A and B are shown apart, each in its own frame.
Chain A
Amino acid sequence: MSEPRTLLAIDHLSKNFGRVTAVDGISLDIRENEFFALLGPSGCGKTTLLRMLAGFETPNDGRILLDGRDIARTPPNKRPVNLMFQSYALFPHMSVRANVSYGLEMERLPANEIRSRVDAILATTELVPFADRKPEQLSGGQKQRVALARALVKRPRLLLLDEPLGALDKKLRGAMQLELKRLQHEVGITFVIVTHDQEESLVMADRMAVLKDGRLLQCDTPHAVYEHPADRFVADFIGVMNFVPGKVTADGVLAANGARITGKVPAALSPGASAVASVRPERIRLFPSVETANRTTGTVEALAYQGLDLQLHIRTPLSPKPFLVRVTADAAGRRPVSAGDTVELGWDPADVRIFAE
């Protein structure tokens, strides 16, 4: 396998609106043909970043290199980059076909080429039966596919998608996540998706960047971000995490109640500093059979069945918030628990992540 080529290099990009800094010196690379997610809570700067890539905002500082050429100040209509808008922004006075051919007409391509390319993309997005309809006659999912077709037909170097699934209901969302992945694979175009939904980026992205307050916190594969969050915020934002506050020791964290949580201490943390030890709910075992370094007892407060899994809220002396524990329904079936029961919990030091408070 050859080394993946960098398509887009974002270099110390900053943008402020008046005194508010929306994007604060972000640098990251997006590779050819990857599905890249920009993730963060609202107000983190991900939409501003996306709009700078599309050309609707001009950065105050930094460069945007597409194939090595700085496009930061190129107007949106002169960039080989297309955006799929959150509202889809379909032209309501044009049919589906007219919407899709609009961008090609702007390139002044010959009519027959426009026709064949539009036909092809309508087929790919399964929109042929709706070609003559107006946007108002389409369902949410169909509108979304038109917006996608309209952007894809231009064969952009980079396709930007702003919360593309935000307007869809939950069930359709799941189907469209896979559909988008399939399409991206089929057309071989680099996708950059903006989302606030961490689950969505975990499912869809090849790599993801987590943003907060205009800064880049972490940029890596979903697996790496999930398993090795860069800081406490990322750990909390991605997936579910149990936190135990305390003080750093040589081999872990000393909790307020005197319990020791063993785990690898990052080099940056010196003993005595305030820190949190954390562990994912699915890494915790109920009634651990082998001797594990980290143990505690707790009281079951609530149980919730979620199909294959059983989720338990367990009050422990380690933290003010109850621990969340996820076990498979099979495992739970072997030794049933109910609310009010006292249970033993245990987890491996290898599953513990320690962050500065």
Chain B
Amino acid sequence: MAERSPGTRRALWFVLSLVFAFLYIPIAVLVALSFNEGGLPTAWSGFSLKWYASLAGNAAILQAALNTLIVALVSTAIATLLGTLLAIGVEMRRQYGKGLEALIFAPMIIPDIVLAIALLSFFSMLNLTMGLHTIILAHVVFNLAFVCSVVRARLKSFDWSIVEASADLGASAITTFRRVTLPVILPAVIAGALLAFTLSVDEFIIAFFTAGAGRASTTLPMQIYAMIRFGITPEINALATIVMAVSITALTLSQRLNRGVIGQ
């Protein structure tokens, strides 16, 4: 790059600081307030973990957290398996139709609200009792698409001749997959799984529509939504901080495992 004048450079740094302030101040305020003894945004009355303690004593929140974990773990497990197989299947072919591409791409761009009402209509038409299992069925839809796209990105640079080499050396298809293909794509598979896990933990609208009635299948985002609508309580700040910490950790891990995938 050509040298920039000090004025230009200052302007660029200024823009960057403003944008990062805009992105991080709201979150930072939230995190700070979660440690505020008084719990009110009006005054800092000292550092305290009491809102975290009160979370631990809130049965509804604990139940919601457990539900979220169940949904996220099960849907991630299914989606990782199906998504990885799909990715390999697609990339094995030298050519595939636009329809297939669109079908795999659709769950990632379809508005949540549309998928949510579609599944609600579908489940109620089948007279299916809704609960955690229907949320899981729904979450697998978009999760498998994301896992698939992450694994496909890795497979794009995969040298298929090593599979042929393995077969040439006498390995069966299964052995080749286990000893050759899987080790190469494993980081991408794990990264995809972490991404799916985060998406599932954070997903609100589809869960909200497919959870059915009753507390038994409330997930954490649904609980948060209810709490926000109810009013600002210091407990939300603490809960929000924990949820953010979990998603950000999972995503940072995913990013580390699979450089640049999140950037795609």
Contacts and interface: CB of A to CB of B under 8 A. Distances in A.
A and B touch in the complex (CB under 8 A): yes
Contacts of A76: 2
Contacts of A58: 3
A339 B147 CA distance: 64
Nearest to B2: A56
Interface in B1-42: 2-3
Contacts of A57: 2-3
Contacts of B3: 56-58
Interface string A37-62: 00000000000000000001110000
Interface string B102-132: 0000000000000000000000000000000
Range class of the A interface residue count: under 10
A160 to B, nearest CB: 15
Contacts of B2: 56-57, 76
A57 B2 CA distance: 7
A20 to B, nearest CB: 15
Size bracket, chain B contacts = under 10
A58 B3 CA distance: 8
B180 to A, nearest CB: 37
A58 B4 CA distance: 10
A317 to B, nearest CB: 50
Interface in B65-110: none
B2 to A, nearest CB: 5
A64 to B, nearest CB: 15
B5 to A, nearest CB: 9
B9 to A, nearest CB: 14
A57 B3 CA distance: 6
A56 B4 CA distance: 9
A76 B3 CA distance: 11
A76 B2 CA distance: 10
B4 to A, nearest CB: 11
A58 B6 CA distance: 13
B259 to A, nearest CB: 26
A7 to B, nearest CB: 24
A56 B1 CA distance: 8
A17 to B, nearest CB: 10
A56 to B, nearest CB: 5
A76 B5 CA distance: 13
A219 B127 CA distance: 90
B194 to A, nearest CB: 38
Nearest to A51: B2
Interface in A183-208: none
Interface string A53-93: 00011100000000000000000100000000000000000
A58 B2 CA distance: 10
A76 B1 CA distance: 13
A56 B2 CA distance: 5
Interface string A309-322: 00000000000000
Contacts of A56: 2-3
A56 B3 CA distance: 7
A239 B192 CA distance: 56
A277 B2 CA distance: 45
A79 to B, nearest CB: 13
Nearest to B1: A56
A308 B2 CA distance: 47
A248 to B, nearest CB: 47
B6 to A, nearest CB: 12
Interface string A267-287: 000000000000000000000
A14 to B, nearest CB: 15
A165 B233 CA distance: 69
Nearest to A58: B3
A331 B2 CA distance: 55
A61 to B, nearest CB: 16
Interface string B49-74: 00000000000000000000000000
A282 B16 CA distance: 63
A88 to B, nearest CB: 17
A57 B1 CA distance: 10
6 contacts: A56-B2, A56-B3, A57-B2, A57-B3, A58-B3, A76-B2
Interface of A: 56-58, 76
Please name the 6 residue pairs, one residue from A and one from B, whose CB atoms are nearest each other, closest first: A56-B2, A58-B3, A57-B3, A56-B3, A76-B2, A57-B2
